[in-house]
Amino acid sequence: MFPWQKQKTEAIEKRKARKISKNLKDNVKYIEEQYSYGLNYDFESRTIQGPSGRYHLFFYSTTVDTKQLSDHIVAPLLEMKKDIPVDRIVSVPNISPITNMGDVEKGLNDGSVIIFKQGIAEGFEVNLQDFKHRAVEKAENEKTVKGPKESFTESLPTNISMLRKKIPSKDLIAENISVGTRPAVPVTLIYERDLANEKVLENIKNRISSITVDNIRNIEILEQFIEERPRSLFPTLLYTERPDNVSNFVSEGYIAIMMDNSSSCLIAPITIWSFFHSPEDRYLRWAFANFSRLIRALAYFITLFVSATYVAVTNYHSQLIPIDLLLAIASSRERVPLPIIFEVLLMEIAFELIREAGVRIPSPLGPTIGIVGALILGQAAVEANIVSPIVVIIVALSGLSSFAAANYSINHTLRISRFIFIVAASFYGLLSLLGAILLWAAYVVSISSFGVSYFSPATPSTKSSHDTFFRMILKKERWRPGFINPKDWDKK
């Protein structure tokens, strides 16, 4: 450890271990100094002179419920004539005695009220938190037509309450592990005690507790700290904002990772199939759900391969194209100055620009994107002989298909992989395209998420609910996913 770091840690330890003094004045002076009383406009330090003694309250006026404070703390203290312990005077559900300054600081930071009494070397932490957060709203990024509509919000208690409502069971555990130092914040693991695999749980806990960083404020940052291959194109944690989706996963034996200030949560361990499944696949009836899966599967193949195949076939294998199409392409390309590969890349990049701009643009300007995108890049580019019409069709098709992906993370994977394939196809045509696909597939199969193979249960093959490519009729599903080795495999 570096000397300056050592000094810092020692100072912090010393501060934390300081005992609460019997002398109220000492305590008040120390806390007011620590919390820059007077400078911090919302930090309140109030003395209450009641009949039973002299009390002092510390709290942030912005984080506590002031109505409860005056009704259940200030009023009883002022009225109580007998000298009895504080925890018997105040009428709040959540009060705990504390003895050192470390706990005082922690309580204040969490938004509690701290009560000191003259002559007692002990304080009380009263939990009256009232942090502001968004109400529960409709899911924005993972929409379904059929199924629950609510989504997580940026408050952990609200989110857990939504989960408890869905899984009312004593086996649903919400365990806290703290991460970071400035300040340490809790990460909550949600799992079913009688299902989740111990080894996986241990693995996740180890990875979280081995993080050495000053702070992690939300789940999106945490994801990048605990994943196995941060540079990989493939996400190994499922990011979802739907409580119903999370409860489905948790009741299969998966583990959910949540944090305050995140309107989503992470599911681990995960396989590639989960990214392609939508919660609606289970809510829809069997035939409809499988039809929707089929369409999505088609969309993935289109988005990955249609542009690459076009490049390969037109450049190297023109005999594969029916002659009418061939002549149509040749005639439309006669006045186009760019080689096919650059033509396709140009349009693909233009599409990515529209997409990126569409995400960032302030919503009042949104419609502009449509006009610019459709007119300028589509029609005008063709009329100006910059690109040929068929390329516009192909790029639009592959762009549109990429948004059929059920999950936002895998959407990026597909879109970036598409460029790899296009470039590969331009080297040796289908030969190099197939080579690239082979390497790509070999890489994907080699990935694992918290010890679970990325392609299971397809390979290695394990017992599962057979919900990989298409799903079965729900009544016939028997097994929980065997690849995460839950404590109880049998659903029935």
- Point out which span in 147-155, 178-186, 332-340, 465-473 binds other proteins (CB under 8 A): 332-340
3-state secondary structure 62-101: CCECHHHHHHHHHHHHHHCCCCCCHHHHCCCCCEEEECEH
Q: Is 479 in the site for other proteins (CB under 8 A)?
A: no
Nearer to other proteins, 66 or 315 (CB): 315
**CA gap 387, 380 in Å, rounded:** 9
**Options 18-26, 135-143, 335-343, 407-415: segment touching other proteins (CB under 8 A):** 335-343
Choice between 145 and 323, CB closer to other proteins:
323
Residue placing its CB nearer to other proteins in the complex, 390 or 445:
390
**Does 340 contact other proteins by CB under 8 A?**
yes
* Out of 20, 208, 329, 350, the residue judged to bind other proteins by CB under 8 A: 329
Give DSSP secondary structure letters for 325-351. HHHHHHHHHTT--S-HHHHHHHHHHHH
Residue 277 and residue 481: Cα distance in Å, rounded? 14
Q: Between 120 and 430, name the residue whose CB sits nearer to other proteins.
A: 430
Contacts with other proteins in 400-439 (CB under 8 A)? 426-429, 432
Q: What is the CA radius of gyration of the chain?
A: 30
Q: Which stretch binds other proteins (CB under 8 A): 69-77, 328-336, 363-371, 391-399?
A: 328-336
Answer yes or no whether residue 328 interacts with other proteins by CB under 8 A.
yes
Q: Residue 413 Cβ, how far from other proteins at the closest point, in Å?
A: 24
From residue 355 to residue 384, what is the string marking binding to other proteins with x (rule CB under 8 A)?
A: ------------------------------
- The partner residues of 116 in beta bridges, in order of sequence, read 56, 123
CB 388 within 8 A of CB 343: yes
The smaller minimum CB distance to other proteins, of residues 211 and 328, is found at 328
Q: Which is nearer to other proteins, 323 or 442 (CB)?
A: 323
The correct pick among 332, 385, 462, 485 for binding other proteins (CB under 8 A) is 332
Rounded-to-integer distance, Cα 234 and Cα 134, Å: 31
Stretch that binds other proteins, among 320-328, 353-361, 365-373, 395-403 (CB under 8 A): 320-328
Written as six digits, the tokens of 491 are: 């659903």
The distance of closest approach from Cβ of residue 384 to other proteins in the complex, given in angstroms and rounded to an integer, is 14
Place of tokens 């020692």: 10
165 token code pair: 């409502």
The distance of closest approach from Cβ of residue 318 to other proteins in the complex, given in angstroms and rounded to an integer, is 6
How far is C-alpha 200 from the geometric centre of its chain's CA atoms? 19
For residues 86 and 436, which CB has a smaller minimum distance to other proteins in the complex?
436
Q: Contact between 339 and other proteins (CB under 8 A)?
A: yes
The site for other proteins, by CB under 8 A, has a size of 24
Quick one: 118 or 332, whose CB is closer to other proteins? 332
Residue from 121, 298, 327, 375 that binds other proteins (CB under 8 A)? 327
396: left (phi over 0), alpha (psi -120 to 50) or beta: alpha
Query: What mask of x and - would describe binding to other proteins in positions 277 to 316, judged by CB under 8 A?
Result: -------------------------------------xxx
Q: How far apart are CA 361 and CA 358, in angstroms?
A: 5
Q: Which is nearer to other proteins, 212 or 319 (CB)?
A: 319
Q: DSSP of 179-231, one letter per residue?
A: E-STT-EEEEEEEETTTS-HHHHHHHHHHHHT---S---SHHHHHHHH-S-TT
Shortest Å, Cβ 389 to other proteins: 8
Q: Could you give the angle at which helices 408-428 and 389-402 cross, rounded to 10 degrees?
A: 140
Residue 330 engages other proteins in binding (rule: CB under 8 A): yes
**Rounded to 5 degrees, what angle do the CA atoms 469, 470, 471 make?**
125
Nearer to other proteins, 12 or 320 (CB): 320
Q: Does the protein bind other proteins through residue 326 (CB under 8 A)?
A: yes
Give 121 or 320: the residue with its C-beta nearer to other proteins: 320
Distance, in Å, from the CA atom of 2 to the CA atom of 77, rounded to the nearest integer, reads 49
**Cis-peptide, bond into residue 269, ω within 30° of zero:** yes
Q: Pairing state of beta strands 255-259 and 172-179?
A: unpaired
- With binding defined as CB under 8 A, does residue 333 bind other proteins? yes
Distance (Å, rounded) from C-alpha 305 to C-alpha 406?
A: 18
Which residues are near other proteins by CB under 8 A? Answer: 314-316, 318-319, 323-324, 326-334, 336, 339-340, 426-429, 432
